[in-house]
Amino acid sequence: LKYLVSTDAVGMGLNFQINRIIFYETQKNDGRQIRDLNESEIKQIAGRAGRHTKDGYVTAIKNNDRKRLREVLAVSANELSRLEQLQAEA
């Protein structure tokens, strides 16, 4: 599979080898209104990138969405150390 165009459903467990996620926008229509994706939704979708490889890439088409992705996906050095420690213990 070379390209996949999807809604936020891509974060619901599609198990493809995805190297790169490109957000067209970080908003969705939830059936009642157009709203921003929450942090959990962004992380779930972005987490598909690199799932079967060591590194994955996440970006967005629009500058303001890229800024939001950087804010949501930023991990502090302390959080990263703790995550690495938990992975080593697992």
The answer to whether the beta carbons of residues 65 and 36 sit under 8 Å apart is no
Q: Comparing C-alpha atoms, which of 13, 5, 69 is closest to residue 39? A: 69
pLDDT of residue 54: 66
Query: Which residue stretches of the chain have pLDDT < 70?
Result: 1, 13-14, 51-54, 76-83, 90
Q: Record the tokens describing residue 83, joined without a space.
A: 């995550």
Query: Whose structure tokens read 């779930």?
Result: 44
Q: Could you tell me how far CA 43 lies from the centroid of its own chain?
A: 4
pLDDT tens-digit series, residues 32-43: 999 999 998 888
